[in-house]
Structure 1
Amino acid sequence: MKAGANALARSRKPVQELPDVTLSEDGEVRFLHLGTEWIQGSMIIADPFAIELDYVQRMMAWLLFVEPDSVSKRKAMQLGLGSAALTKFHFKKLRMHTTAVEINPQVLAACQGWFKLPPDGPRLRVLLADAGQEIRQAQHTGTIDALQVDLYDHEAAAPVLDSPDFYADCRSVLTDDGTMTVNLFGRDASYERSVQSICAAFGEDAVWAFKPTREGNTIVLAQRTADRPTRMQLLARAEEIQSRWELPAVKWLRIFKPIQ
């Protein structure tokens, strides 16, 4: 099966038009689908709070730009719940205040029933809402340190929210040293258009990108405030990330660089 992107059906669709959630398992891994073969998320059954897919791990590259000791004091938000891999990791492993936004109640129910998503509490909220509308709510402005955006429909052809205005709204919720990571997947033309939209909102000097995974997922990172750490600084940070949280951050540095 091919690794696609986490799903979030576009706003303003009535609930009955949202795609149905289906599950599959392959040995030790459980997968989430939205009525197609595309994998919208996964979970290692024996280790439910780990991140299994490479592209989802790369969404954690924001850790390269903050002090590790500050992480648990920060706030994270995911636009698109998928199998809740990122939400669970931020909440359980990083001990962060975490908010996820998901429009499809079936996705939320699947995550609670089959993917070990903990219930809402003082540090965790899952909002059933349109991401494009929720991101504009005043209470979020300037409060988020790590924003992950993974907004695809069941066909996984192109992001459903992908305009310069949308990315400007994403930038507005970030703290001064906050970072957005975005999963881009699909046709080359779609990728280039997405990067242009991100650059229009953040500025080209604030945008970094990974090389694509074998499945075609390309993670793009954008900083609220552009910063270019030295390679030695990044390496030291990557080694610390790898030691603390078992993410392959040292390997990231071979495939991650500024776009200009």
Structure 2
Amino acid sequence: MTGRLSIVGTGPGNPNQTTPEALAAIAAAHVFFGYGPYLDRLTLRDDQRRVASDNREELSRAKDALHTAASGEQVCVVSGGDPGVFAMAAAVLEAMEAGPPAWRDLDLAIIPGVTAMLAVAARAGAPLGHDFCAISLSDNLKPWTVIESRLRAVAIAGLVIALYNPISKARPHQLGTAFAILREVLPWTTPVIFGRAAGRPDEAITIMTLAEADPGKADMATCVIIGSPETRLIERPGRSPLVYSPRSTGGPQ
């Protein structure tokens, strides 16, 4: 039997946001590799097996999945959100590049999903309506100095910024430092969206200005979106405000 490896994104956590293509790939697979809480979102049959691992073991997980697929199994690597955005697709390809030639011959499919910044943006309005970027604040795989320089560069360029992995017990101060850097460049009235668990029962969407932005509003389940100088807030009496970035721009301020 020829092995197959699918890498799927299940979306931000709301089952309705898992795509039909991802569901079909999950139904076709026999062995599932992923971070335990992501595998917990799946409803598996008796003939399907899960192999859970810690969220810091991406490369080891990728190697195990490739080895299992190369043995002839139908394998699925599971990510939350989109597998290509700070997730397992890059880890699998990194392992494949350094691994045996047989891994490159596998039937490989990468199935996209709804990533966190899209779910948060949809709940808040249309903050990604113009040019934007995504930056991970985790310095596990890149120096913090690189993160700082990128934050300054994209703020000067006038991009909306989506921050992934904004804060953790090991990195309690970095989000506050990021806000301080952005305040050097952006208007302090710039909208900031804290989107925690978007689409899930414990969802919390908080909107404040860059001047008010409080790192304590974030945890590892939060995606933070910082507007550009053009990003606007529409107040709605009795309703949550809407944040949007106009489709046209005059360039960096």
TM-score (norm: length of structure 2): 0.35
Q: Bigger radius of gyration, 1 or 2?
A: 2
More helix by share: 1
TM-score (norm: length of structure 1): 0.35
